[in-house]
Structure 1
Amino acid sequence: MPAPLLAHLADLDATGGLAIALPDGRAGFLVRVHGRLYGYENRCPHRDSRLDIDANRFLADGGELIQCAHHGALFLPENGECVAGPCQYESLEPLALRVDDQGGIYLASE
């Protein structure tokens, strides 16, 4: 059975971030920073809460770092490591992604 479509790259054009529902019921999110796509479970390691308060806002001002809207923690997009805030040195849970020729975003098969 093919993996379900999560989103399209164009869905990230407006904000650089997008909340998604994962097939197993967990919440996830996608961000695009400097043209590269990253995906993580939408759960801050500090208090086990979602990172977003405003819809599809996952990037700090400047668009360089992922930010938890609840606690202000900052995460590197390339590996999810918290570099500032109450969960420093902890990491977001990554999603393995693949993008098809039409810009469709899917979970990568294992």
Structure 2
Amino acid sequence: MSAAIAHLDDLEATAARGVRLPDGRDALLVRVHGRVSAFENRCPHLGVPLEAEPDRFLEAGGELIQCAMHGALFLPEDGECVFGPCQGARLREVPVSVDEAGRIYLAAE
């Protein structure tokens, strides 16, 4: 099995974190309501990174992923944009899995 990209301990109950994937892509891990999802760190609107400050991916309420450039809001479950200039578009998902010890791995695509 490949090396873990993160651990559940790295994510608080409602937190997000940027990670560099083994292939060099930047991604974000998000854990909202106990579910971990991962997406490429690129807004579908202009292709810019989502955060203006390191690891600041969630809006103030901690429920939605927010693009710092235009305020677009994305669902953490599937990356769908529900508000903003790219409404209806989606973040590109990065499949991950979590083992019994809480290690987060890239899943087979």
**How does the TM-score come out when normalised to structure 1?**
0.93
Give the AA of the match of 2:71.
Answer: G
* 1:18-43 Cα deviation digits (max 9, x unpaired): 10001111100001111111100000
Deviations 1:75-106 (A, max 9, x none): 01111010101111110000111111111100
Aligned residues between the structures? 109
Contact 2:40 2:91 in 1 (8 A): yes
CA separation in 2, counterparts of 1:79 and 1:51? 16
Consecutive aligned runs of 4 or more in structure 1 exceeding 2 Å deviation: none
**Within 2, Cα distance between the matches of 1:52 and 1:90?**
18
Which residues of structure 1 form unaligned runs of 5+? none
TM-score, length of structure 2 as denominator length: 0.94
Task: After TM superposition, list the pairs within 5 Å mapping 1:72-87 onto structure 2.
Answer: 72-87=71-86
Aligned-residue identity in percent: 57
The equivalent residue for 1:65 is: 64
Query: 1:36 & 1:66 partners in 2: Cα distance?
Result: 14
Residues 20, 28 of structure 1: 8 Å contact kept: yes
In the alignment, the residues of structure 2 paired with residue 30 and residue 9 of structure 1 have an alpha-carbon distance, to the nearest angstrom, of 10
Aligned-residue CA RMSD (Å): 1.3
SS of corresponding position for 1:83: strand
**Counterpart contact for 1:3–1:109, Cα < 8 Å:** no
Unaligned runs of 5+ in 2: none
SS of match in other structure, 2:10: helix
